[in-house]
Structure 1
Amino acid sequence: MGQWRGPDGILVEAIILDDRPLLRVSCRVNGRTYLRGYCATVAELGEHGVDLAALVEDTQLDHL
């Protein structure tokens, strides 16, 4: 699965929830992570304050 990071602590993760592929949007604030919501499509990310142009793929997963 993939992860993308954006400004202001935004994290978008591709996950499987109840056998459905979803994008989980969370935000890190003052050392805590808060869930913003789930999206079924990339188009829905804007509803959670995500700017697609600002996302950068998180390559830390390659080292696991």
Structure 2
Amino acid sequence: MAIWRGPDGLIVEIIVLNRSPLYKISQMIKGHRYFVAYAHDVDTLTKHVELADLVEVIDLRGRRQTAS
């Protein structure tokens, strides 16, 4: 699933909870991850984080192609 990071250690993930997609908002503080909120839609998400500040995290592990 997609993950975005924001300022002050904010992390936004798309998860599925009870068969419903949600945005899970958490925050890293001094190496510990704390739950902030679930958001059902973008409007609710914007109450917790400024969307323009988010950057998508792309996991490149496992996507490397070996040279033939």
**Alignment match, 1:23:** 23
TM-score of the pair, normalised by structure 1: 0.89
The root-mean-square deviation of aligned C-alpha atoms, in Å, is 1.1
Uncovered stretches (5+) of structure 2, i.e. residues with no partner = 63-68
TM-score of the pair, normalised by structure 2: 0.84
Structure 1 stretches of at least 4 aligned residues deviating more than 2 Å after TM superposition: none
Give 1 or 2 for the bigger CA radius of gyration: 2
Percent same amino acid among aligned pairs? 42
Uncovered stretches (5+) of structure 1, i.e. residues with no partner = none
2:61 pairs, out of 53, 60, 63, with 63
How many residue pairs get aligned? The number is 62
Point out the structure with the larger helix share. Answer: 1
